[in-house]
Amino acid sequence: MRWVSILVLSLLTTACTADPAPPTGEIRDCGSSVYGEMSPDWRAKATVVGPVAFVTWFSADPAWLDSISPRPDGRRFIKVLAVVDGGKQVTISLPDSEPSNVALAYTDHDAPSVTFIGCERETQFNGGFMITGPQCVPVQVHFDGKTERIVLSFGAGKCAT
């Protein structure tokens, strides 16, 4: 019985101290980060989920989306800076059920998921979303063994959460 207790305690200790899950999908690390000065109140205007903030220049107003010219394939690139807290790893993904009218555009390839590995200090990653038109986009944010969901409106008005 004593050996069983020691084994269980050992397994629990291993589970609590194990490294985080390896990144999946496209990967951006400290070496591919960018840097730019932002206003002192940028975080108050951002959409913050755990250790990542989405700094956006888009609007939920449908008229705003019309001001962005579509690419030849009909999609529009919407710039959304991802700012990751120092030393954190975050994966953002689109749900499997999300249609092909939206993709993450943080690497050379459109992708359904991107993992950001932050530097020691707060880290900025350029990129954004490729969309076909006004829509509410659900985004899953995976960090520290948790998953949280947000919904971003790209010219679709107020979205249900």
pLDDT digits (tens, 9 = 90+) for 57-116: 766 777 777 888 888 988 899 999 999 999 999 999 998 766 678 999 999 888 899 999
Distance CA 125, CA 27 (A): 11
For the beta sheet containing 135-143, the strands, ordered from the edge strand earlier in sequence to the opposite edge, are: 26-28, 113-117, 89-93, 135-143, 146-154
Pairing outcome for strands 47-49 and 113-117: unpaired
Query: What is the set of domains in the chain, with CATH numbers?
Result: 26-154 (2.60.40)
The answer to whether residue 22 scores a pLDDT higher than 70 is no
pLDDT class of 4 with cuts at 50, 70, 90: very low
- Give the per-residue pLDDT at 19: 43
State the first-to-last Cα distance of the chain, in angstroms, to the nearest integer. 49
Give the CA distances from residue 152 to residues 11, 48, 80, 137, 157, in Å, rounded to whole numbers and listed in that order: 40, 12, 11, 5, 10
The answer to whether residue 20 scores a pLDDT higher than 80 is no
DSSP assigned state of 20: P
| Greater model confidence, 129 or 65 | 129
For 145, other C-beta atoms within 10 Å of its C-beta total 8
- Give the per-residue pLDDT at 129: 94
pLDDT class of 53 with cuts at 50, 70, 90: very high
- Give the per-residue pLDDT at 8: 33
Share of the chain above pLDDT 90, in %: 54
The answer to whether residue 160 scores a pLDDT higher than 80 is yes
- Which of 153, 140, 28, 137 lies closest to 83, judged by CA? 28
Distance CA 84, CA 29 (A): 11
| Greater model confidence, 8 or 103 | 103
What are the beta bridge partners of residue 92?
Answer: 114, 141
pLDDT class of 48 with cuts at 50, 70, 90: very high
